[in-house]
Amino acid sequence: MKIRTVYDILNEISPFNMQEEWDNSGLNLGDYNADIKKIYLSVDLDEKLIDEVDENSLIITHHPLIFKSIKKVIPNRFSTKLLLKMIKKNISHIAMHTNFDKTHLNEYFAKEILGFDGESQDFVFYADVDMEFDELVKYVKEKMNLNSLKVVKAKEKIKKVAITTGAGMSLLDFVKADCFMTGDIKYHEAMDAKVRGISLIDITHYHSEKYFSECMERILKERIDVEVIIRNSDDPFNLI
């Protein structure tokens, strides 16, 4: 199958023109006319993943490998080191980032993983829950299979939650909910949310977005006749 065929399918289900202007979703590496026999799915790229992937394959990730302009292609940075390894194996790469957040990932995480019913509004999914905050935290930990979560408790009772996978604290001004679930929450952002009376649950960047692969697998297996393999990259953080 040609990369162009896969690209067109992805563009149909989640148009690339919906991405934010700072984003770099789309074909990051490869030739639209190249033939591929396998597609690998991952939230991100890392060296272990690239070492495991067969030559002449396509990797579809959530995060782009390239965000900023590259002026030197030498193996002393994350993106350039991985690019060189991928070029040697003729591995192509397509990213489905902010466009896919808006059309699929936030809703998939909220409905399929957390079991909430609601609706997406751009980058934010809203759901009515009517739960005690401590009960909600316990519920989310169980659904995400995590032993601990960083939280900010501003209210005892939570009637509505807002959910943005990845890093969504830049959206705090627009959130209309008792509790905001997102990742990469910083100290001063937590202080700000508490003053506003908005509780926070840090669902982490990796653990909220790792479900990209299974969401994408369901979509592709209905549309293409090419082997699709999930090989999620590892979380760079460890708790010790």
Instruction: Provide mean pLDDT across the span 9-28.
Output: 97
Q: What is the pLDDT of residue 148?
A: 95
Question: What is the spatial distance between Cα 38 and Cα 200, in angstroms, rounded to a whole number?
Answer: 40
Domains 3-99+210-230 and 102-205 share a fold: yes
- The total number of residues shown for the chain amounts to 240
Strands 199-202 and 179-183: parallel
The H-assigned helical ranges of 58-132 are 78-88, 98-100, 106-108
DSSP E strands in 62-149: the ranges are 92-95, 118-121, 124-132
The 10s digit of each residue's pLDDT in 184-208 is: 999 999 999 999 999 999 999 999 9
In this structure, whether the domain defined by 3-99+210-230 belongs to CATH 3.40.1390.30 is answered with yes
Closest CA to 60 of 215, 234, 223, 238: 215
Tens of pLDDT, residues 32-83: 999 999 999 999 999 999 999 999 999 999 999 999 888 888 888 889 999 9
Q: What is the mean pLDDT of residues 210-230?
A: 96
**Average of per-residue pLDDT across 104-133:** 97
Token pair recorded at residue 101: 């957040």
Whole-angstrom distance, CA of residue 127 vs CA of residue 14 = 23
92-95 and 199-202 beta bridge pairing: unpaired
Digit-coded pLDDT (tens) for 121-177: 999 999 999 999 999 999 999 999 999 999 999 999 999 999 999 999 999 999 999
Q: In the prediction, which pLDDT does 239 show?
A: 82
The candidate with the shortest Cα–Cα distance to 173, out of 145, 196, 202, 151, is: 196
Query: Is 102-205 a CATH 3.40.1390.30 domain?
Result: yes
* Domain-wise residue ranges, the chain: 3-99+210-230, 102-205
Q: Position of tokens 């609706």?
A: 119
Rounded Cα gap, residues 212 and 219, in angstroms:
11
Q: In the chain, where do the E strands start and end?
A: 26-29, 38-42, 58-61, 92-95, 118-121, 124-132, 150-152, 157-167, 179-183, 199-202, 227-230
